[in-house]
Structure 1
Amino acid sequence: MSVTHVGGPTVLIELAGWRILTDPTFDPPGRTYEFGLGTRSTKTTGPAVAPDEVGPVDLILLSHDHHADNLDDHGRSLLPSAGTVLTTVPGARRLRAPNTRGLRPGQATTASAVGRPDLHVLATPCRHGPPLSRPVAGTVIGFAVSLAGSPRTAVWMTGDTVLHRPLRRAARHLDVDVLLLHLGAVRFPLTGPLRYSMNSTDAAGLLAATRPRVVVPVHYEGWSHFSEAEERARENLHADRLPAGTTVTWLERGRAAALALHGP
C-alpha cells in the first residue's frame, strides 16, 4: 500500500491497483468557513498536492459533505470524475450524483473493477461531537476497506469522531493493518471545552481496542479549529505508550509512503 498525505483529512491511497482518495480538500489557505450556529474555522495551510496532480481516482471515501475541512470547493470539483463516491445517506441525497452511494453505519458495499480484486467497504460509526450533538454536527461515517478474500481490514479511516461506545465496539471487531486516525481535538470558542473530534489521549484508547499494525495520524493540522498541538499528539502516541505490535507513521505531506500489508 502507498499513502500520500495531501493535507488535513485528504489522503491518496494506492492499494492493489485501486486509487482511493479520502475527504477531498484542495482549497488554498486563508479563507474562513462557516460550520453552522456561529462556529467557523480558517484554513491555515494549503494542500501539498494540487487537484490536477492527483490523477485518476477510482473511489472517494467521503466521511461527510457538509463541513469544508472535509469537502471544500476544489475537492467537490473532483467528485464527478471519480469512479465511485461513498458517503453518508444524507450526503448522497445532497450531492445527488449518479456515482455516489450513501451508507449507514454497519452497512457494506463492494467496489469492483476489471483486473483488480474487489474491495469490501464497511461504514463505521462516528459521532462528530459530544452526546446529543448529531442534530447540530450532522451525520458522519468512517470506512473499513478490505481486499476480497482477506479477513483483515487493509485500511480503516476513522472519520471525524470522538471516542464513544459504538466506535469502541466497531474497533474490537476489526483486524486492522493501517488505521487513518483523524485527530485534532476540534474546538470552537462559542462552545468552549466541548470537543468535536478525538484528541490523542482518546486515540490511545481506540488503539487499545483495535490494536492496528500501523497508525497514520491525519487531520490534525492546517485549520484554526484544532486545539491539540502536533507535539502533544506525538508525545501521547509515542512508541512506549502503544499496544504491542502497533507502530505510528507520521507522514510527510505530499510524499508517498509505502506501508506493508500483512498476509492473510
Structure 2
Amino acid sequence: MKITQLRNATIIVELGPYRILVDPMLAPMGTLPALKLGGGRERNPTVGLPPGWSAMLDTVTHCLVTHCQKGHFDHLDRAGKRWLRERDIPVICTPHDAGYLRGRGLNVQPLASSEHASQPFLGGRVTTVPCRHGRGAVALLMEHGVGYFLEMPGEPSLYLSGDTILTPRVLDFVARHQPDVCVVPAGGARFDLGQEIIMNAQDVVSLLGVAKGTVVANHLEALSHCPVTRSELLAAAQEAGLGERLRVPDDGATLAFTCDARVKIPA
C-alpha cells in the first residue's frame, strides 16, 4: 500500500490495482474563502498543490468522500467536483451523501448500507466509523461524516478517520481493530468562536498511545484556521516517546507500507 499526500486532507491511496483519491480539494492557492473573521483571515488554500500533482491524479481510478455537505470545500471543492465529473471517476460515498453528489453530476457509487458494519468494497471490506466534527454549539453547524476502515487482500489495513475530534468511539474502534495504518486530521482547526473541530497535536499523541500501528497525520499547513504545524506535531510525539510510529508527510510525498512491519518506511 502507498499513500501520497497531496494537500490538506487530499491523498491518493494505492491498494492493489486501485488508486483512490480521498477528499479532493484541488483549487489553486488563495481562491477559496477565509475561514476566520479575526486572525487567520488569509484566503484558502494557503499553499498550492505540489509539483507533479496533475500526473499524480492521472493514475486515479476511484474517489472516496468522507463528507461534502454544508459547505465543506476543504474536502470537496468545485475544482475537485469538476475534475471528477470530466473524467467520470467513480465516487464512493455513504448513502447519505449520494443524492448531493449525484446532483453535482458525479458518477456516484454509494456503499450498500448506512450501517456501521463491514460491507463489500473493491474486492475487500469497508467499515464506516462515525465522525464528530466539533463540540458544543459549533458542532450544530458542521457536517458529521464518516471515517472508513479498509481491509483489502494482501494489503495493510487502513483507517481513514475523516474530519473528527478524538472521541471515545474513535479510540475504542482503534483499540479493538488495531489498523496497520491510521490517517488522521491533526491541524487543530477552529473558527473565531467555539472549540476545535478536528484533532490537535495532543489528540494525536493520545491516539498514538492506543494504536499499535503507524499514524499518518495530515490536514496541516494548508488552511488558515489550522494552527498546528508539522514541526510542532512531530515534537509533541517525540516528547511523549511515540515519534517512531508517527508520519507527517510533506505535500507531494509518498509513504509505502507493508503487511509485515508495524514501523513503516517512506518510499
Deviation at 1:51, TM superposition (A): 4.2
Give structure 2 stretches of 5+ with no counterpart. 262-267
**TM-score scaled by length of structure 2:** 0.82
Match of 2:252, SS?
coil
Query: In the alignment, what sits opposite 1:78?
Result: 83
Q: Which amino acid aligns with 1:123?
A: T
Query: In the alignment, what sits opposite 2:135?
Result: 130
**TM-score scaled by length of structure 1:** 0.83
Superposition RMSD in Å: 2.9
Deviation at 1:110, TM superposition (A): 1.7
Question: Which segment drifts farther, 73-82 or 153-162?
Answer: 73-82
Deviation at 1:34, TM superposition (A): 6.8
Match of 1:180, SS?
strand
CA distance in 2, matches of 1:166, 1:132: 20
Deviation at 1:60, TM superposition (A): 1.6
Deviation at 1:71, TM superposition (A): 0.9
1:255 matches 2:257: no
Alignment of 1:108-257 (within 5 A): 108-112=118-122, 118-131=123-136, 133-148=138-153, 154-189=157-192, 191-192=193-194, 194-212=195-213, 214-238=214-238, 241-242=241-242, 247-257=245-255
1:91 matches 2:91: no
Q: Does the 8 Å contact 2:67/2:97 carry over to 1?
A: yes
Deviation readout 1:71-93 (Å, 9 max, x if unpaired):
11221123344653222433222
Q: Does the 8 Å contact 1:2/1:259 carry over to 2?
A: yes
Q: Does the 8 Å contact 2:189/2:227 carry over to 1?
A: yes
Q: How many residues align?
A: 251
Query: In the alignment, what sits opposite 2:8?
Result: 8
Q: Does the 8 Å contact 2:19/2:61 carry over to 1?
A: yes
Deviation at 1:106, TM superposition (A): 1.3
Give structure 1 stretches of 5+ with no counterpart. 113-117
Match of 1:201, SS?
helix
Q: Does the 8 Å contact 1:33/1:68 carry over to 2?
A: no
**Compared CA separation, residues 89 and 35, structure 1 to 2 (3 A):** farther
Q: Which has the higher strand share?
A: 1
Deviation at 1:136, TM superposition (A): 1.0
CA distance in 1, matches of 2:207, 2:65: 21
Deviation at 1:257, TM superposition (A): 2.9
1:57 to 35, 55, 60: 60
Query: In the alignment, what sits opposite 2:264?
Result: none
**Compared CA separation, residues 73 and 101, structure 1 to 2 (3 A):** same
**Compared CA separation, residues 182 and 171, structure 1 to 2 (3 A):** same
